[in-house]
């Protein structure tokens, strides 16, 4: 088996995987299983913040507290949590391919762009980002 590239998981893909796996398409599940199995799955650190905010606001009920839930997400899928670097921050602020202003989405997409990795997301706004490779389905 050859070397596989990293894939970056969007926040909603992480949540679907943990709480409602049927919302993942066959291809998305296959890609996620392969990446987590060989250590090539990653997420942006801002996804952990997004999840904590959703839990705190009562918009997401994982059945446990946000710390335990995000820790389980990271460990169960063997995720590498990618920090916001100066390069990712710059991309998120200046990349002309973005069609919307959501800062978390811009950071997640910029993480994938910086890593030259595909992004696993069902988000149509992110799928519209020019130059961003997206996996779903």
pLDDT one-digit tens code per residue, 62-100: 999 999 999 999 999 999 999 999 999 999 999 999 988
* Reported confidence tier of residue 1, pLDDT bands at 50, 70, 90: very low
For 7-64, the pLDDT digits (tens) are 999 999 999 999 999 999 999 999 999 999 999 999 999 999 999 999 999 999 999 9
Per-residue DSSP letters for 27-51? HHHHHHHHHHHHT-EEEEHHHHHHH
d(CA 84, CA 81): 10
The Cα–Cα gap between 31 and 135 comes to: 8
Please tell me the CATH code under which domain 38-135 is placed.
3.40.50.1010
The model's confidence at residue 3, banded by pLDDT at 50, 70 and 90, is low
In the chain, the N- to C-terminal Cα span, in Å, equals 24
Q: Do 11 and 51 meet the contact criterion of CB atoms below 8 Å apart?
A: yes
């Amino acid at each position: 088996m050859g070397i596989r590239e990293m894939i970056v998981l969007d926040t909603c893909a992480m949540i679907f995987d943990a709480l409602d796996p049927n919302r993942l398409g066959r291809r998305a599940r296959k890609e996620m299983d392969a990446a987590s199995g060989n250590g090539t799955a990653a997420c942006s650190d801002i996804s952990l913040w997004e999840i904590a905010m959703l839990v705190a606001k009562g918009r997401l009920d994982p059945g446990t507290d946000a710390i335990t839930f995000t820790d389980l997400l990271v460990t169960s899928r063997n995720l590498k949590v990618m920090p916001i670097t100066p390069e990712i921050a710059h991309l998120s602020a200046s990349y002309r391919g973005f069609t919307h202003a959501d800062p978390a989405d811009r950071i997640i997409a910029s993480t994938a762009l910086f890593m030259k990795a595909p992004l696993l997301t069902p988000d149509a706004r992110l799928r519209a980002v020019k130059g961003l490779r997206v996996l779903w389905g």
